[in-house]
Each structure stands twice: as C-alpha cells, then as structure tokens.
DNA sequence: CTACACAATGTAGCTACGCTACATGGTGCT
DNA sequence: AGCACCATGTAGCGTAGCTACATTGTGTAG
C-alpha cells in the first residue's frame, strides 16, 4: 500500500481531473494515470469511473481518499514534530485572502515572521470564486462568512476562526445620525444606500434590516470595492454597511461608523486549510500569528 | 518524507538492532543502514547513536518513531477500510498465547473463522519471556496479568481485555472443604499446597492468602505445568490455586473447584497488539472472535 | 592479549519502479 | 465534420533502493 498513490487519489478527489492533479504535482497526466491504475489493481476494485471525458471517483474511491487524508495528516504531524526538534518553523507558506482581511492582518503578520519563513500572499475577489476550492492551491485561505452560516463545515477542511468583525453603518460627517451612540433598523429606512454587488454577504444583513424595519431600503448604487463605497459615503451620496476594522483607511476622520443594533451585523473571518497542511509547523506558526494579529486589531480599534 | 524509512525507524525502536530490523523486513542490514542514514540526512539531526557495537535511538529518534506509529496506524486504517469494501477479512494473522488461554479459546476461534483467514498460532511459556516484546513478531499476543497490575500500559501497545478468569482453589474429591460453597483464606492454612514456579503470577495471590490468614502456607511442590499440578491435587497430595475455566480438562469430575473469598483471586486475559496491526481487518476479526469465544466460555462454564 | 564473533556501515553494481515523450482513443463543443 | 480536451496506452530512460562483499569497530572467550 503506497502512500504516494493514495496521495494522488486524494488530489484527484480534491481537483477532479487527472490533468489538474498532474499539474499540481509536477507530473505528466500519463504518470498520474498509471499510478492510479496500479492503485486500482492493488485495491482490487474500481476506484474511478469515466464520466464524459473526465474522471470521477466511485464510492470506494471517495472512501479511500478520505482515509488518505488521515494518512497525510499523520505524516504532516510527523514532519512538524521533527521541525520542532530542528530549526524553528521554516519554508514557504502560501495564502490567499479577500482584500479587506489582507489589508487588516497581513502587514502585521509578515513583519512578525522570522526570516526563515516566507509567506506568499495573493488576493482573490471573495464572491467570484469558490473559496474552499482554493485550499487545493494555497496552504491558508482567509475567508469570511456571515455569522451562523458556517458554509465550510463538513467538507473535511480545517477551520480556524480568526475574528468576528462587526459591520457598522458608515455615515458622512455631519449626518443627522452621526451623534448617536448606535442606530437601529428603523432609523435607516429613509436613507439612500450605497449597496454591494449582488450576492455579496452584506446583502443578507441589508435584507434583515428591511425585514426588521418593515420597509424597503432605497439602493442607489451597487459596488464591489469597499474604498469606492466609502468615497461615496464621504461625499454624502448615501450611507453604507462597512466592516468596522477595515474602513476609513484612506481618509480617516471623514467617515463615521455607528454600531447597528436590532439585527445581527457581523462577519466571521476564518482561515481554511486542508487538514494535512494545517499540521505543518510553518503553517501553524502563520496561523498563530494571524490569530494574535486579529486580537490586536480587535483590541486597538474601537468604534468611533 | 518517506513512510518506508519512518517505518524502519519504528522497527528499530521496537527491535533494537539494525540486524533484527533487516531480518524482520527481509532486507540486508546494509539496506537498512543506508535508509536510516538517508532519513537522518533529511531530518537534519542525529536520530541514532552507537552504543557498544549496537545502535540506540536519540530522543529525537524516539519521538519520530512514535509519530511513525501514528502514520502506520492511519495507513493500516486505510487498508482495512478498503478490505471492508472488497472481500471480507482475509490473509494471515499470527498469534502467540500462553498454554492455558490457547487451550481455552483457540479451537473455538479457529473453527469460527472463514477459509480465507488463516490464523497461525504458537505458544510460549508465560514467565520465561517478555510478552509485550512478542508484539514485534506476532500480530496478536495473548497475555495475562493479575488484576489491577496492568503492566502493559504506557508502552504504546493496544490492549484488548478478553476475560477475567477467577482463580479457584482446587481440591480432590472427598476433601473436607469439598462440600463448601466457597472457602476463605483462614480455611486454607492447615493444608499442604502444590505451588507454582517462582515468579508466576499466582504467587502473588498465595502471598495475599497468607497475609489475610495471618499464617504461612506450607508449599510441598512447585510446578509450572498446570496439568501436572492438577494430577497431584487429584492424587490427594495437596491443594492448589487453579484457573477456573481451564482446569480439569483431562479428568473431569475428579477435581473440585471452590471460589476463594476474602482475597482478589483472578487474572486478566488480554490481547496485546501493535496499534497498527490492531487496525488490520483480519486482525480485528480474530479479536472479535476471541472476545465472543471468551464470553461463551465464561457463560457455559460455571463453578462446580 | 590475541583471536574470534558479531554489529554496523561503506562500495560497486544491478534491478525495477516511476517518470517523460509521444501516440491513440473517446467525448463534448461549435 | 472538425477541433479541443481529457484520459490512457507504449517505449525508453534515470534513479532509488536493493544485494553481495569488504571494512571497521567492539565485546568476549581461550
């Protein structure tokens, strides 16, 4: 029973095609196909079956792939253990984030890491892409979800919560609500809103506000970029829902944030990882740094 | 990080010498030495060090070997999983036992196993040898320990309790105590005893009887073989402590067993295994059969 | 104290496993 | 029908890991 082959099966389960596995493991598709064939012969039962021009796993194949994960995890634990004996954490760790989390956490994290540990970061648009799928490409995936809806459960991924960030109501200076300590849904119905692109998670909270207040909100614009939204708010063109810790970065003091009461208004920021990658010492080190950085941000920044 | 090499390290931890590992894995000592060298180079720190003409593990080596066990376990789980998908349990399982347990359990177990599963049994004298050490050679080791003193804990072995067998007082027919329902330590002090060889576990119970009764027992003979002891008892030459379920096999009705009250008088019969071996489907099947056979014996045999 | 036995480890060479490069056979899309 | 794409065969190569044999170092017996 060969571990390499099991690993290949697991990659196939994650990536869905022989070609993708080959690319990810720096091999030719032919090599992958041959190894899977050998594995199947050893197993004595079909692990894959053709579907169209692609290949999908059978039930047996999926089950084997799942236990292949356990093997990978224990192997990763072993290498992590000996990393602890030898040097400190070293090597490369790759990470994707959605823009605001990266802006908030990554600079602090990278400066806190030793010189032997290089962190390769990238950003992706949060809603355009399937974030869990990135765990195949990146060691760490920073994702956000609305409270409660932990959509990444059950996929066999390791989920580490980093922070819950409140979503406040952003107002221009001098707005009638700007001297309140907090606002309620009913305060907001007359306002002009700068909304987010359809499908963005904030959307749900806006709906909740409408439901709570019993009236529809008037949505004048719809943007994806937060800085753009903020500039509109500052310009007095409307108000918007903005994450507390990542707002007003460009123009401090010109945007007023008010906590929203009456509806649950926050997002969970989490790190997603393949279970085996999560065991690597270097990865664990980055995760710890992310956690402490998140805690620092949460303590230092208070609502205005 | 190669699993084969980790496995070799683990074998070295278990067996203590390169030559033994080589013999166990069907390789030349040179091959083992080379692989360990490579592993050490990869690890970047010494895993072994010479001691005399032999080789012992360093702390780091032991730690790595321990986590190598986890890898082996998850690998074994994977193969077991797919065995469940395919045929039923098949293959070979090796087992050592001490004589009485084998006599009591093995015939029933072997007849209960399917034709695809062959169980290779052997027996060893219980006290002459270190039973846990046999887990390197055999898949399953049947061992017994006195109650409480679970001497096999903490060695990283999987322990499955099979039964607790009471140790009764064996009497010849017509003995003054033979019509009692049970006996106490104080009843036994006048008697002539047929003892067990020094160091046998029953010894402890005899000491407990002496302590409880406040007098020494007179020990006329000391034997290792149970059948021999019984024949002496039947001949009226003394009384003895005998395990309830394995006594009187040869000459039924001529030996009377009386439960002993006032001292804890029983032995634990357990199965010992390497954790990875314990995961194999064939091994688990044998263990289950052992357990049900033990339960059957315990139910069918009652004290006379 | 020399000689032998035994354990680990080097060296040379062979085998076989797993890769690449290229060709082939299906399947979906235009 | 033609093209693009994916999986998979085949031939051949490189190398990892084995054996056989030699070497070194350490206990043990005569």
DSSP string, chain A: --HHHHHHHHHHHHH-SHHHHHHHTTS-HHHHHHHHHHHHHHHTS--EEEETTEEEE-HHHHHHHHHHHHHHHHHHHHHHHHHHHSSSS-EEEEEEE-HHHHHHHHHHHHHHS-TTEEEEEEE--TTTS-GGGGGGT-SEEEEEEESS--TTTTSS-EEEEEEEEEEEEEEETT-GGGGSS-B-GGGGTTSEEEEE-TT-THHHHHHHHHHHHTSPPEEEEEES-HHHHHHHHHTTS-BEEEEGGGSSSSSTTSEEEE-B-SS--EEEEEEEE-HHHHHSHHHHHHHHHHHHHHHHHHHH----
**pLDDT for the residue numbered B141:** 96
In this structure, the answer to whether residues A139 and A158 fall within a common structural domain is yes
In this structure, the answer to whether residues B54 and B174 fall within a common structural domain is no
A85 CB within 8 Å of a chain B CB: yes
In this structure, the answer to whether residues B154 and B181 fall within a common structural domain is no
Using pLDDT thresholds of 50, 70 and 90, give the confidence band for residue B249.
Answer: low
Return the higher-pLDDT residue of B161 and B304.
Answer: B161
Find the range with the poorest average confidence among B129-143, B236-250, B287-301. Answer: B236-250
C-alpha angle B84-A273-B63 in degrees, rounded to nearest 5: 70
In this structure, the answer to whether residues A167 and A25 fall within a common structural domain is no
- Most confident by average pLDDT, A108-112, B128-132, B201-205, B210-214: A108-112
In this structure, the answer to whether residues A208 and A76 fall within a common structural domain is no
Task: Name the residue range of residue A11's domain.
Answer: 3-83
Distance B102 CA to C24 C1' (A): 60
**pLDDT for the residue numbered A258:** 92
Is residue B303 scored above 50 in pLDDT? no
Is residue A287 scored above 80 in pLDDT? yes
Give the model confidence (pLDDT) of B205-224 as tens digits: 888 888 888 888 888 788 88
Angstrom distance (rounded) from CA B300 to CA B249: 14
Closest A-chain CA to B62: A82
Give the model confidence (pLDDT) of A26-64 as tens digits: 999 999 999 999 999 999 999 999 999 999 999 999 999
In this structure, the answer to whether residues B63 and B202 fall within a common structural domain is no
Across the interface, whether the CB atoms of A78 and B68 are under 8 A apart is answered yes
Q: Which residues on chain A are in Cβ contact (under 8 Å) with B43?
A: 82, 85-86
Shortest alpha-carbon distance between residue B88 and chain A (Å): 13
Tell which of A35, A52, A83 closes a domain: A83
- Measured CA to C1', what is the nucleotide nearest B52? D26
**pLDDT for the residue numbered A153:** 64
In this structure, the answer to whether residues A24 and A167 fall within a common structural domain is no
Average pLDDT over residues A122-136: 83
Return the higher-pLDDT residue of A52 and A151.
Answer: A52
Is residue B251 scored above 70 in pLDDT? no
Whichever domain contains B173, its CATH number is 3.40.190.10
Average pLDDT of every residue of chain B = 89
Find the range with the poorest average confidence among A53-57, A81-85, A193-197. Answer: A193-197
- Measured CA to C1', what is the nucleotide nearest A18? D7
In this structure, the answer to whether residues A123 and A241 fall within a common structural domain is yes
Whichever domain contains B64, its CATH number is 1.10.10.10
Average pLDDT over residues A18-33: 97
Give the model confidence (pLDDT) of A227-245 as tens digits: 888 888 988 899 999 988 8
Locate all alpha helices (DSSP H) within B44-121, ordered by sequence. 59-85, 99-112
A250 burial (CB, 10 Å; 0-12 / 13-18 / 19+) is exposed
**pLDDT for the residue numbered B1:** 82
Across the interface, whether the CB atoms of B44 and A86 are under 8 A apart is answered yes
Considering its fold, how many domains does chain B have in total? Answer: 3
Using pLDDT thresholds of 50, 70 and 90, give the confidence band for residue B274.
Answer: very high
Residue A41 Cβ under 7 A from any strand C atom? no
- Measured CA to C1', what is the nucleotide nearest A30? D8
Q: Give the A:B interface size as CB pairs under 8 Å.
A: 69
Distance A25 CA to C11 C1' (A): 34
Across the interface, whether the CB atoms of B67 and A81 are under 8 A apart is answered yes
Residues 8-37 of B with CB under 7 A from strand D: 26-28, 30-31, 34-35
In this structure, the answer to whether residues B196 and B258 fall within a common structural domain is yes
Shortest alpha-carbon distance between residue A63 and chain B (Å): 8
Using pLDDT thresholds of 50, 70 and 90, give the confidence band for residue A278.
Answer: very high
**pLDDT for the residue numbered A128:** 65
In this structure, the answer to whether residues B61 and B172 fall within a common structural domain is no
Is residue B151 scored above 90 in pLDDT? no
Give the model confidence (pLDDT) of B230-246 as tens digits: 888 988 899 999 988 88
B64 CB within 8 Å of a chain A CB: yes
Is residue B57 scored above 50 in pLDDT? yes
Shortest alpha-carbon distance between residue A68 and chain B (Å): 7
**pLDDT for the residue numbered A304:** 42
Is residue B95 scored above 50 in pLDDT? yes
Is residue A68 scored above 90 in pLDDT? yes
In this structure, the answer to whether residues B45 and B94 fall within a common structural domain is no
**pLDDT for the residue numbered B128:** 65
In this structure, the answer to whether residues A77 and A117 fall within a common structural domain is no
The percent of residues in chain A predicted with pLDDT above 90, rounded, is 57
CA A158 vs CA A8, A134, A144: distances in Å: 20, 13, 14
- CB atoms under 10 Å from CB of B88, counted, come to 12
B116 CB within 8 Å of a chain A CB: no
> Which residue, counting CA atoms, is nearest to the C1' of nucleotide D26?
B53
Whichever domain contains A156, its CATH number is 3.40.190.290
Residue A30 Cβ under 7 A from any strand C atom? yes
**pLDDT for the residue numbered B152:** 65
Tell which of B43, B67, B83 closes a domain: B83
Tell which of B23, B50, B83 closes a domain: B83
- Most confident by average pLDDT, A204-213, A270-279, B96-105: A270-279
Using pLDDT thresholds of 50, 70 and 90, give the confidence band for residue A174.
Answer: confident
Half-sphere exposure (CA, 13 Å, Cβ side) for A190? 4
Average pLDDT over residues B3-27: 97
- CB atoms under 10 Å from CB of B201, counted, come to 16
**pLDDT for the residue numbered B302:** 53
Closest A-chain CA to B69: A74
Shortest alpha-carbon distance between residue B86 and chain A (Å): 7
């Amino acid at each position: 029973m060969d571990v390499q082959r099991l690993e290949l099966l697991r990659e196939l389960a994650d990536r869905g095609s022989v070609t993708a596995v080959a690319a990810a493991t720096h091999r030719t598709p032919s090599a992958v196909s041959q190894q899977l064939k050998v594995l199947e012969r050893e197993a004595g039962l079909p692990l894959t079956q053709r579907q169209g021009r692609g290949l999908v796993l059978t039930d047996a194949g999926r089950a084997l792939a799942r236990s292949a994960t356990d093997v990978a995890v224990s192997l990763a634990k072993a290498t992590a253990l000996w990393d602890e004996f030898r040097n400190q954490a070293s090597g490369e760790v790759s990470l994707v984030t959605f823009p605001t989390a990266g802006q908030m956490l990554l600079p602090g994290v990278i400066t806190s890491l030793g010189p032997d540990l290089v962190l390769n970061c990238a950003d992706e648009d949060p809603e355009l892409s399937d974030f869990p799928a990135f765990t195949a490409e990146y060691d760490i995936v920073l994702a956000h979800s609305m409270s409660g809806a932990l959509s990444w459960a059950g996929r066999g991924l390791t989920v580490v919560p980093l922070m819950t960030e409140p979503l406040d109501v952003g107002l221009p200076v001098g707005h009638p609500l700007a001297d309140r300590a907090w606002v309620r849904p009913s305060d907001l119905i007359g306002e002009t809103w700068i909304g987010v692109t359809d499908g963005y998670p904030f959307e749900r909270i806006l709906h909740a506000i409408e439901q709570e207040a019993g009236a529809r909100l008037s949505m004048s614009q719809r943007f994806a970029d937060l800085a753009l939204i903020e500039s509109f708010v500052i310009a007095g063109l409307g108000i918007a829902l903005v994450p507390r810790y990542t707002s007003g970065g460009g123009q401090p003091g010109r945007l007023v944030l008010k906590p929203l009461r009456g509806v649950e208004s926050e997002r969970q920021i989490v790190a997603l990882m393949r279970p085996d990658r999560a065991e690597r010492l270097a990865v664990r080190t980055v995760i710890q740094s992310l956690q402490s950085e998140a805690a620092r941000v949460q303590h230092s920044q208070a609502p205005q």
